Amino acid sequence: MDNLFSSIPSQLADELTEVLEQKPNLRIERIISDGHRSDQGFWYDQDEHEWVLMIQGAASIEFNNGDVKSLSQGDYLLIPAHQKHRVLSTSNSEKTIWLAVFFS
């Protein structure tokens, strides 16, 4: 048994992504951010659907249609495949812990 809150580094130069489980057509990741955001002009354009749950912290996700979704602890969001999006911001006051489920 593992725990989503274990082995969190105190300092993160880059966002940390760990695959917790992977099967055909399914991948579950723990993502840890610490004030990280997408580079200016960068957009995710994924072949898979992404369901994301905010475990701790906060973040804002921007979509290429101009919508911005703010997530805080307990919020979840489904991002359909090929919906271009980017991380606009993550919390600077605490680690942001995401649980992301990718599926096709």
pLDDT of residue 12: 84
Structural domain boundaries in the chain? 17-103
Q: How confident is the model at residue 9 (pLDDT cuts 50, 70, 90)?
A: confident
pLDDT of residue 94: 94
Mean residue pLDDT across the chain? 95
Average pLDDT of span 35-46 = 95
* pLDDT, tens digit, 9 for 90 and up, residues 14-23: 899 999 999 9
pLDDT at 67: 97
Is residue 1's pLDDT more than 80?
A: no
Query: Is 74 within 8 Å of 26 (Cβ atoms)?
Result: no
Architecture of domain 17-103: Sandwich (2.60)
**Taking the alpha carbons of 94, 18, 66, 78 in that order, is the dihedral positive or negative?**
negative
